[in-house]
Chain A
Amino acid sequence: MNYADLFRVTLPETALEIAALLVLVVDLGFLRKAALKTRVAAAALLGVAGCGAAFWAQFWAVTHGAWTFGPEGGHAILINIFYAGAAQSGILVLTALTLLLLMGATFTRHVGEYVAVVLMAAAGGLLVATAQDLLVIFIGLELLSLGLYILTAFAKSSGKSAEAAMKYYLFGGMSAAFLLFGFSYFYGLSGSTNLTKIQEVIAVSGPSPLFYVAWILVVAGLGFKVAAVPFHLWAPDTYEGAPAPAAAFIASVSKVASFALLISFSVHWLVPANALVRGTSERYLLDVYRTWPQLSTILLVVAAASMVVGNLAALAQVSVRRLLAYSAVAHAGYMLLGIAVHPHYPGQGNPFDFYMSTDSAMLNANAVMYYVLTYGLTTIGAFGLVDVVERATGSDRMDAFLGLHKRNPALAAVLLVLFLSLAGIPPLVGFWAKFNLFAAVLRAQAGVVPFTLVALAIAFSAVSLYYYLQVLKRAYVMAPVDETPIKVNHTTMLVLVGIAAAVVILGIFPGLLQGWIEAFYPVI
């Protein structure tokens, strides 16, 4: 193992950690006497600079061949390319946006600590996205999660914040325990903690009942991270109680990292994506194709349940934050569908030819990555908006949005764009993300089950239009209660308008983001 390689591959994480320490030093050392606004601005800008440095470092690593880290002739422990590279860069951009939303925030005086925790959690997220080894996955996941628990509790003067953090922490701690338990069984069954090695060992020996038990435990742990039913109960309270920039971070960055992780599992275990690289035998491929599809059944069940429960529960919400939480559950359901559906070997013909003809593992991964990145972007905008309205009116209920088109027309226009994108209305990016995902799912497998699930997903997207329109109705149609104009911090307005513009442009020219994601697939 060459530690210089390790250093090169983990440059982005290093940049973030250095930035975190720098923020702490600057805030606690030099800006003790400064006003809150200055401290917030300094910390946020330093954080954004750190993200920028990490982004550049990631770019440098990819273009200079620092693609994987692992023992010589062994399996990679960390990878920097493919979906992992896209996830990393996406996490850095989204983190920078949530830090920019911090401008003008008054929920805490401990600004340096807040930004430092955000950066460290982001570093954990980067690690989760690149890891291919169970132990590294767990470390990254814990770094990310512990940071998120702390961020949720940061609004010390709000009881809701503390309650939300407590619920999130207890639930999360238990899920982490399940996850680790499952991981320990995988180690026991295969003698290795590397995802690829585990697949190779178990494909030869065939999965045992213990393997399926372990898989269920792992799905429970991962389902918690992405807020899938029935592991979603923490989401509404956390989205409601956490301070808005923290909620934006939870809703976007942790989702991106978790889905990158799920893609890792799916790409290694649900379909033998590395078979070509490793050189393989027909027997091995047949074994994999026969046994692994059963693993996806539980993912399909969780996906369907999330779509149904998330959308139905959102119909009843009065608080916009809780509405966004349940809609997050629903969107997680759509994305899980993309993870779970893979080509089914029909049973006759050369399995190698079948493998070569269906390169859908990466197609699905790209579609899921596209969806989660654009969803994260839209959610950050939504939370930024909710924050502005909350500070102006004191509540996050739907009625706080009454008459928004009169109080701040630009803000209302941003709300229109973001919520319609979440509902999946063309020509916005949310529609393209859904279309792309469903087309990829049907291209992978055109059987009855994927079909029914895609039909279910589209039907429930239609249901979701109702509750998004309810908020838009308050903003545009119903008579306002209070007509005083809403003033917005310039940086926040810039960020919100920029996100809305990106949603429109990426929706009209979907090739832009797709081309960018495909740039992480260097020709080997």
Chain B
Amino acid sequence: MINAIYGKKLGCTQIFNEKGDALYVTAIEAEQCVVVQVKDEKKDGYNALKIGFGSIKDKKASKPHKGEFDKNKVELKKYLREIRVDKFDSEYKPGDNLDLKVFKIGDKVKITGNNKGKGFAGVIKRHGFQRGRMSHGSHSHRIPGSVGMCSTPSRIAKGKKMPGRMGNKQVTIRGSEIVDIIEDQNLILVKGSVPGAKGSFVLLRKV
């Protein structure tokens, strides 16, 4: 069995537990995940399940994308992802669905998703640098300051923290607790926040 599922982040809300505590939860709608291909170590060099999820119109999909599904006679899906498994899983065949039932209330999960893009950000926001004085004659407000030495070495050290694109990177949070599972609506409620914007895709894996 594979302890993972892809889902869509719906947003955050609040619920109460039986003790009466108000819990901040994120609702994740589990997608219908179809096994497209089972990869075998002997044949493909590693063990993995190729999974398709999300809906797409037939004419919008590219031919190579469609070919992946047609080859294995699986219904066309928008996204293709691979999940590595430890040993060859003969339990799954192309066309099988991943089941939400592998998760139970109280389970700890790892959640992977792309966080929100912040655009071109300065060093204070991006790397947590300190800012200079805003007044008293100071002109050094939010600038990065010195970035290196003089004519030796006359270059900037590799990996120097500088302004640039921030966010929209893959982030994994670990140890999030499942508070509730609403099976008839395919919803999972996870305690706390989850990376990404509303409507973005996340991968849930059991720790």
Do A and B truly interact? no
Could you tell me which B residues sit within 8 Å of A by CB distance? none
